[in-house]
Amino acid sequence: MGTIKNDILTFFLPQHPDQEALLKPFLNGFNVSYAENKKLNNTTLYVYLLKPEEYVSDAFGINKEILLAYSPYNTLQPRAIQAVNMAFDIFPFKNRVDTLNCFVVSKDRGILEYSGITNFSETQSRCIVPFIYDELIQYGNDSWFIRNQLRKYFYDIDLFGYTLPLRDENSFFGRQQIVARYIDAIRRCENRGIFGVRKTGKTSLLFKIDRIIREQRIGFVFFYDCKSPSYRKLHWNEFLGEICDNIAKRLNIRIRKEYDEKGIIKSFRYVIHEAALKNKKIVIMFDEIEYISFKSTLDTHWQTEFIDFWQTIWSVQSIHRNLVFILSGVNPSVTEIDTINGIQNPLFSIVQSEYLQGLSEEDARTMIRILGRRMGINFDYSAVSILYKQFNGHPMLLRLACSYINRQYTTQIRPITITEKMILELQEGIDIELAYYFKHIVSEIKQFYPDEYEMLEMLASGQTSDFVELATMVDFSKHLYSYGLVSKDANGTPVVNMPVAGRYVAMELAKKENRTALYRLVEKDRRRDWVTQRIKSIIRDMRQLETAIRSANKDKLFGENSFPEAEKFAAITPIKTEVDFEHFFNICNRCFVESIENYGKSISKNNYFWNEIKTAYPALHSVLHRIKVYRHSQDHLTLNPTVSAKYREFWAEDTMDFSDDEDQRFAIQQKLLESFLTAIQVETSSIT
């Protein structure tokens, strides 16, 4: 809540008591710092200076004081508007107020005709925000009245729609623990590396660390964006010479500029030595490090000069402990690979690296709540939850999604509340709006780790069992998990951790394969072979799971023997008709669900399937439950509302994007067999 300056309360308002009610609404966002009764251009105005509070300044970009003028007459004359314009050029308003904008109050509704940009001459124009006196009095207790008027006649800043690295403290959220770790490492002169997919906030994190170092006077920070042509096009000795120059200038060190390949080593050692004598810590940040590494494709000289550059820095750092550096980028291989063309990688083992993933849900909630509140948007709990799940806390994507949502309600009176239902209705538009950024985020995976990108395509298009099988080779999935693009759900099953990015990857793969559905449905002429192969794999892997269960002495699935009617399960063919559909689930139910329930009864545990099996094998139980629902629905759909609702949910989920009856039925079969094999693999892996 704003305040009125004491001398205005003491001297001005007692002489003009009617003005207090006029000023009251403006205290919701502004402080009144000056008041005067002014005669200009043959008319009288009440003129005030309003100093915006921080949240108004952020929301509307108002950084200076705003001139507020009130014409107290029932009819607004043009000379009053001219008088307002003249006030900008006299004391105390000149050079103090925002020269492009002003607020004007009148009892005459004709003031609305002056809203927006008003031209006073060929060289002078200003944006007038009009206020009707009676409305100000009427809505004096409405904390959003003034801001809604500003949004209507002025403009507001979309605080969410910011895509550049964050340099100011007010826009930076979360990351407290990692920032604390890095500050501690810098104090101890330990090198660090931070890697992650595009736009996760790596550069913003470096700026945050820089601010803390400066505030606490820990050392001197030198930041280099290595993707800048002014750096990446330099040869190694030239770039190191640039660094020498910058350090020398900042610390007033006199240096002979010997920056050729031989002289640079001595020069760099000298400048760091002089800094040490001055007891100054040197912190060098290299952002987008892959552009000056052996991975560089734009400037190929770095593929070999990378060694000389870092050997020099490493050798100096081993002598002078006042030098520390932080690396940032997408590709962590610059620190992970031990040798390059048979030569030891200077960065291997001297840089402790970690991956920057999305914000925590708590930090994401704080960011959305604070920025939204400044704009008059309240995201309820469920709305933030669904946004968080969609983007896995990716800060920029969250902000851009909120920005899109904000733009859909530009005409709404604020504040407004955004619900989960409203977000779901806008989901398609959000996906389209952010498609470019999804591409940007996964592009480096495709470039640097093509095998892992193919794995991501598999998972996104529904080939989960193939993903699980290949993921046993760590190199095929390491970075997908490290970047946070893939994780495991509560049952231990791999899932794309950023569903919207997963949909983008699946869509791009579908386009490449000339499909309309995101899910990769097996072609009709290949379905028999595919089903046969999947059935064989399920039987084989189920035997392995049973063996692992016996070895671990865990709850058995079918007792001492394996599942019954295995020959009927092995003879299953692709579903084409409703009869095939019923036959498939009858067999699956008898083989895997009823047999478990019967074994439970044989050991006097009537709820064995729902208790022991669900607890011990959650991934497998989830698939078996699906079988049970589909089987049960064939004969008892009208008898059990709960099963009926679950059946409709499963059917809608499994047949999404398919309209042909045969394709719908086979999609259910394919997804069931795929998830069945995946679940068996997941459970076996968790035991062994």
Write out the DSSP string of 357-411: -PPPHHHHHHHHHHHHHHHTEEE-HHHHHHHHHHHTT-HHHHHHHHHHHHHTTTT
pLDDT score recorded for residue 578: 92
Amino acid at 367: M
CA 7 centroid distance within chain: 48
Residues near 565 by Cβ (< 8 Å), separated by ≥ 6? Answer: 587, 590, 591
Residue 72: CATH number of its domain? 3.40.1340
The reply to whether 432 falls in a domain is: no
Residue 278: CATH number of its domain? 3.40.50.300
The reply to whether 169 falls in a domain is: no
Mutual angle of helices 236-251 and 302-319, in 10-degree steps: 40
What gap in Å lies between CA 185 and CA 168, rounded to an integer? Answer: 23
426, 454, 481 — which closes off a domain? 426
What gap in Å lies between CA 283 and CA 190, rounded to an integer? Answer: 10
The reply to whether 170 falls in a domain is: no
pLDDT score recorded for residue 257: 87
Q: Are residues 316 and 373 both part of a single domain?
A: no
In contact, 29 and 51? CB cutoff 8 Å? no
pLDDT score recorded for residue 34: 94
Handedness of CA 288, 158, 4, 126 (dihedral sign): positive
389, 405, 426 — which closes off a domain? 426
Q: Are residues 306 and 398 both part of a single domain?
A: no
Q: Are residues 261 and 375 both part of a single domain?
A: no
What gap in Å lies between CA 277 and CA 205, rounded to an integer? Answer: 30
The reply to whether 96 falls in a domain is: yes
Q: Are residues 370 and 460 both part of a single domain?
A: no
The reply to whether 607 falls in a domain is: yes
529, 510, 532: which is closest to 521 by C-alpha?
510
Instruction: Tell me whether the omega of the peptide bond preceding residue 92 falls within 30 degrees of 0, making it cis.
Output: yes
Q: Is 243 exposed, middle or buried (0-12, 13-18, 19+ CB in 10 A)?
A: buried
Report which secondary-structure segment, H or E, holds 613.
none
pLDDT score recorded for residue 455: 92
Report which secondary-structure segment, H or E, holds 512.
helix 499-512
CA max distance for the chain: 105
The reply to whether 165 falls in a domain is: no
| Range list of H helices, 104-235 | 133-138, 145-153, 176-187, 202-216, 229-232
pLDDT tens-digit readout, 393-427: 999 999 999 999 999 998 888 888 999 999 999 99
pLDDT score recorded for residue 666: 96
Q: Are residues 561 and 664 both part of a single domain?
A: yes
Q: Are residues 459 and 503 both part of a single domain?
A: yes
Within a 13 Å sphere around the CA of 664, how many CA atoms are in the beta-carbon half? 13
515, 496, 499: which is closest to 507 by C-alpha?
515
What gap in Å lies between CA 413 and CA 329, rounded to an integer? Answer: 42
Structure tokens at 180: 């604390």
The reply to whether 198 falls in a domain is: yes
The reply to whether 139 falls in a domain is: yes
Handedness of CA 274, 280, 281, 285 (dihedral sign): negative
Through-space distance between the first and last CA atoms of the chain, rounded to whole angstroms: 62
Q: Are residues 56 and 93 both part of a single domain?
A: yes
Q: Are residues 483 and 614 both part of a single domain?
A: no
Residue/partner pairs of 18-21 with CB below 8 Å, 24 or more apart: 19/46, 19/70, 21/136, 21/137, 21/140
pLDDT score recorded for residue 639: 57
Range of the domain at 457: 438-512
373, 397, 426 — which closes off a domain? 426
In contact, 23 and 32? CB cutoff 8 Å? yes
Q: Are residues 207 and 136 both part of a single domain?
A: no
Q: How many domains does the chain have?
A: 5
Q: Are residues 482 and 622 both part of a single domain?
A: no
Residue/partner pairs of 580-587 with CB below 8 Å, 24 or more apart: 580/665, 581/665, 581/668, 581/669, 582/634, 584/669, 585/627, 585/630, 585/631, 585/634, 586/631, 586/634
Q: Are residues 321 and 213 both part of a single domain?
A: yes
Q: Are residues 247 and 319 both part of a single domain?
A: yes
What gap in Å lies between CA 85 and CA 65, rounded to an integer? Answer: 15
Give mean pLDDT in consecutive 10-residue pieces for the chain, a chain of 688 residues: 92 92 93 93 93 84 89 92 90 85 92 78 73 91 87 74 72 88 95 91 93 94 96 97 96 91 93 95 96 90 95 94 94 88 90 92 92 86 94 91 92 87 93 83 81 91 90 77 89 89 90 92 95 95 94 92 92 95 95 95 94 95 95 66 87 92 95 95 89
Give the predicted TM-score (pTM) of the model: 0.74
